[in-house]
Amino acid sequence: MQNRNSGFFAGKLDELVSWGRLHSLWPFPYGTACCAIEFMSTESARYDLSRLGSEFVRFTPRQADVLAVSGTITFKQAPILKRIYEQMMEPKWVISMGACACSGGFYDCYCTVPGIDRIIPVDIYIGGCPSRPEAFFDAMLDLQAKIKNQSYMEERKKKLKEQFENIKNWRKNDGQCD
Amino acid sequence: MDNAIKDELAVDECWIVEREKLVEVVKSLGYDVLIDVVGVDYLGMENHKGKRFAVIYCLKNTKNMARVRIKVQVEEQEKIPTLSKIYPIANWQEREVWDQFGIVFDEHPNLKRLLNHVDFEGHPLRKDYPAKKRQWLSENDQMQDQLEKRLETLGYRVL
């Protein structure tokens, strides 16, 4: 854990925030193909993703934390996916589900994006065509482990530094933005 | 059928028609459903005689359940008369054929790309299109013009 050397109180706060984050990951289902059917199965009663705290599937990017891209992404659709990613609030994570989203799959042709990591940053890749619900669970657990190591205080420090520098520059330039 | 020649290679009923007589033949047949419009590119095919492209119209008569295919051969620069005045569905199907093969339909009401995106160059299902050539799109095209037209036909006023 990289973030635990910043004192007792800050360390505990860090732990608390990441604990809260990793147990309330609300996914946004970006389903375009058969992987979306498996994702529905993951969500429904037999497998029940709510056990991990992903209680709601939000159909608006402004309320979601995890973008679950399940299915083939074509070049015509690429700008839409990018816009949805940009509309999501920080902090946000991306799960690329299935062979098509990871690499284009067997659509090695003129119309399919060869992996969504050409457009947006991806945190977890899941293989399979389509991936099974168990694989999605495994990916969710991996993502939770990843979030556990992310430090809220470090992020905050970075952002505050940026803001202070912006204010300094603003004062230097006599109140004019660059 | 004076205007058509029977296709010897086909198993079922298929007629080869000159492109100038297509509308006349389809009208005289009087079949009520246009099932599909298919484009074919014969570039590099062995033992092929005739022109490079072909457009095949699959028709069906729902009264006696008869089916027929009509084949029109066409060269790259030549145009085919549109069937969208007889069958409204031909509008989109001909747009798709133009999008994928670059076969131009004469007097088509809205010959825009249907499957490929707006910045796409070339026609991907032609045999001389490089199979792994990829074309990126950065911004979607607006469907505003078609949407507004449709709203106006439904009685809405576009502000």
| Prediction ipTM score | 0.78
For residue B146, what are the contacts with CB-CB under 8 A and spacing of at least 6? B110
Mean pLDDT of A111-134: 92
Task: Give the domain ranges of chain B.
Answer: 3-153
State whether A76 and B137 contact (CB < 8 Å).
Answer: yes
Alpha-carbon distance of B120 to B115, in angstroms, equals: 10
Asked which of A13-22, A77-86, A120-129, A165-174 is least confident by mean pLDDT, the reply is: A165-174
Q: Is B134 on the interface with A (CB under 8 A)?
A: yes
Alpha-carbon distance of B159 to B155, in angstroms, equals: 13
Burial class (CB in 10 A: 0-12, 13-18, 19+), A88: buried
Q: Cα-flanking dihedrals φ and ψ of residue A23, to 5°?
A: -100, 10
Nearest Cβ partner for A79 among B115, B129, B139? B139
Percent of the residues in chain B that have a pLDDT greater than 90, as a whole number: 42
What does the block give as tokens for B14?
Answer: 């298929």
A1 pLDDT above the threshold of 50? no
Per residue in B49-86, pLDDT (tens digit) is 889 999 999 999 998 888 899 999 999 889 999 999 99
Alpha-carbon distance of A114 to B144, in angstroms, equals: 30
State whether B132 and A111 contact (CB < 8 Å).
Answer: no
* One-letter amino acid for residue A78 of the chain: A
Alpha-carbon distance of A167 to B122, in angstroms, equals: 51
A139 pLDDT above the threshold of 60? yes
Render A66-98 in DSSP notation, one character per residue: EEEEES--BTTTHHHHHHHHHHSPSS-EEEEEH
Per residue in A24-72, pLDDT (tens digit) is 889 999 999 999 999 999 998 899 888 888 878 889 999 999 999 999 9
DSSP bridge pairs for B34: B59
Rounded to two decimals, what is the model's pTM?
0.82
DSSP bridge pairs for B105: B80
Q: Is A129 on the interface with B (CB under 8 A)?
A: no
A93 pLDDT above the threshold of 60? yes
Q: CATH homologous superfamily of domain B3-153? A: NADH:ubiquinone oxidoreductase Nqo5 subunit (3.30.460.80)
**Closest chain A C-alpha to B106 CA, distance in angstroms:** 27
State whether A78 and B137 contact (CB < 8 Å).
Answer: yes
Nearest Cβ partner for B135 among A75, A79, A80? A75
* A residues 76-105 lying closer than 8 A (beta carbon) to B: 76, 78-80
| Coil, strand or helix at A174 | coil
**For residue A119, which of A90, A78, A64 has the smallest C-alpha distance?**
A78
Ramachandran sector of residue A26 (left: φ over 0; alpha: ψ -120 to 50; beta: rest): beta
Q: Is A75 on the interface with B (CB under 8 A)?
A: yes
Alpha-carbon distance of A128 to B120, in angstroms, equals: 31
**For residue A110, which of B44, B6, B99 has the smallest C-alpha distance?**
B99
pLDDT in tens, chain B (159 residues): 667 777 766 667 888 999 899 999 999 988 999 999 999 999 988 888 889 999 999 999 998 888 899 999 999 889 999 999 999 999 999 999 999 999 999 888 888 888 898 888 889 999 999 988 888 888 887 777 778 888 888 988 877
Q: Is B140 on the interface with A (CB under 8 A)?
A: yes
State whether B116 and A76 contact (CB < 8 Å).
Answer: yes
**Closest chain B C-alpha to A120 CA, distance in angstroms:** 13
Q: Are A147 and A90 in contact (CB under 8 A)?
A: no
Alpha-carbon distance of A79 to A77, in angstroms, equals: 6
What value does the CA radius of gyration of chain A take, rounded to a whole number of Å? 19
Q: Is B133 on the interface with A (CB under 8 A)?
A: yes
DSSP bridge pairs for A112: A74
